[in-house]
A and B are shown apart, each in its own frame.
Chain A
Amino acid sequence: MKDLTVIETILRDRKNFFQEIREGKGLAEKMRAMLVSSVAFFALYGAVMGSSHSLWQALSSAAKLPLLFLATLVVCAPTLYFFNLNFGSNQSLSQNVALMLTTITVTSVLLLSFAPVVTFFLLTTSQYQFFKLLNVGVFTISGIVGVTFLSYGMRIVSYGGGESVRARRTVVWLWIILYAFVGSQMAWTLRPFVGAPGLPFELFRQLGGNFYANIFASIGEVLGFVTVR
């Protein structure tokens, strides 16, 4: 329970939180608390997503959603570290991971805040494409707010370092684009999270297609232009 209180520190006292990351103060405790909270929140949200299909899908999505974000973090962490290093940063890899975990934790708590809304639609609608797009919208909003925390955190953590403000901003935005691409491809690889009605439960679906084409097709079906099979 104590680990969950890290959310309040991040959201209410963010400047102090990022300053402590810059000083390397209590880094391990912070990272553990963020990891525990984000895994719990992602798991609950994942269970809501999968519940539109079956119990197995709910359990599978509860396990896969934390995995999606943590795997994306692992894949993208070295890039952020070396980008920063290249522009004169003196931050360690752990500090970079702590910053990324902050982004993920903020995203997870926002997803949790949307969970009652998504549960409401889960209970009152049976349209698969709508439910899928609703989740994409929720992830987009939560992800954007999460990465703005990264941008803010980077400003504080890098304050007084060797790099210029412009270079720092460039690094952050390049990395955010990379994070979005890796994240969306990771989500596509680990799908299904919602589970198509009429199809049996699958832990992972065959590779093929891509995330963006599928979203455009779903929008087309919701608007009545095409039917997605």
Chain B
Amino acid sequence: MTIDDVLERIRTQMNLEAETEYELLEEIRCHLDEAAADARVRGLDEDQALAQAAARFGVEEVGRELQATHEGWGTLEGIAAAALPVLFALLMRWLVFAPDGTFVGWQEMVGRPAFWAVAVIALLVPLWRFPRRRYALIGWTIFWGLSVIVIVGGAVRW
């Protein structure tokens, strides 16, 4: 039995995104390596050390627990990446600019509490919860950029 065999047994208990599975299995590999090294120091041979480390881990249980812990979060990140930029672009449109969507008084935008409240929340939500937050932040930046260009430029009336 090798570490790869143990990891494969754990992997069969999971059905997560490939990237998440890879990260989790690499972390387990490190723990197994350490546990096997400890066992070797205690005088066990290579196979026994690994078998003991795997038994301590509880291969099937670990796979099921990891599945239960991480299930759904991959899709939630996708939902956040789609929803957050759209939600904050709409909030900006209706809370920051004039209610009729025109650029009247846009210069006072930076002085409005609503602008800063939306901006801070929009920045903090992805930073707070989502590991792959950069996509949501970039999407959010693009929509805010477009909103400002269209409003300030006045090329298109909303």
Contact = CB atoms under 8 A, between A and B. Distances in A.
B89 A119 contact: yes
Those 5 A-B pairs whose CB atoms lie nearest each other, nearest first:
A5-B72, A8-B75, A8-B72, A123-B146, A115-B86
A1 B76 contact: yes
A197 to B, nearest CB: 9
A44 B89 CA distance: 11
Contacts of A73: none
Interface string A32-65: 0000000001001001100110110010000000
Given A51-B94, A123-B147, A124-B146, A5 B71 contact: yes
B73 to A, nearest CB: 7
A11 B72 CA distance: 10
Interface residues of A, number: 31
A5 B157 contact: no
B15 A13 contact: yes
Nearest to A48: B86
B86 A5 contact: no
B100 A124 contact: no
Interface string B54-90: 0000000000000000011111101100110111011
Given A123-B147, A125-B156, 11 more contacts: A4-B75, A4-B76, A5-B75, A7-B79, A8-B71, A55-B94, A58-B94, A112-B79, A115-B82, A115-B83, A123-B143
A116 B86 contact: yes
Pick from A9, A48, A51 the residue with the most CB of B within 10 Å.
A51
What's the dominant secondary structure at chain B's contact region? helix
Nearest to A2: B72
B35 to A, nearest CB: 31
Contacts of B100: 54
A109 interface: yes
Nearest to B151: A123
B128 interface: no
A120 B89 CA distance: 10
B86 A44 contact: yes
A113 B77 CA distance: 12
A123 B72 contact: no
Contacts of A4: 72, 75-76, 79
A36 to B, nearest CB: 12
A44 B158 contact: no
B93 interface: yes
B158 A126 contact: yes
B2 to A, nearest CB: 29
16 contacts: A1-B76, A5-B76, A7-B72, A12-B15, A12-B75, A44-B87, A112-B83, A113-B82, A115-B82, A116-B86, A116-B143, A123-B146, A123-B147, A124-B146, A124-B150, A126-B158
Contacts of A120: 143, 146
A58 B90 contact: yes
B152 to A, nearest CB: 13
A1 B125 CA distance: 13
A127 to B, nearest CB: 10
Interface string B93-123: 1100001110000000000000000000000
Interface string B15-53: 100000000000000000000000000000000000000
A41 B80 CA distance: 11
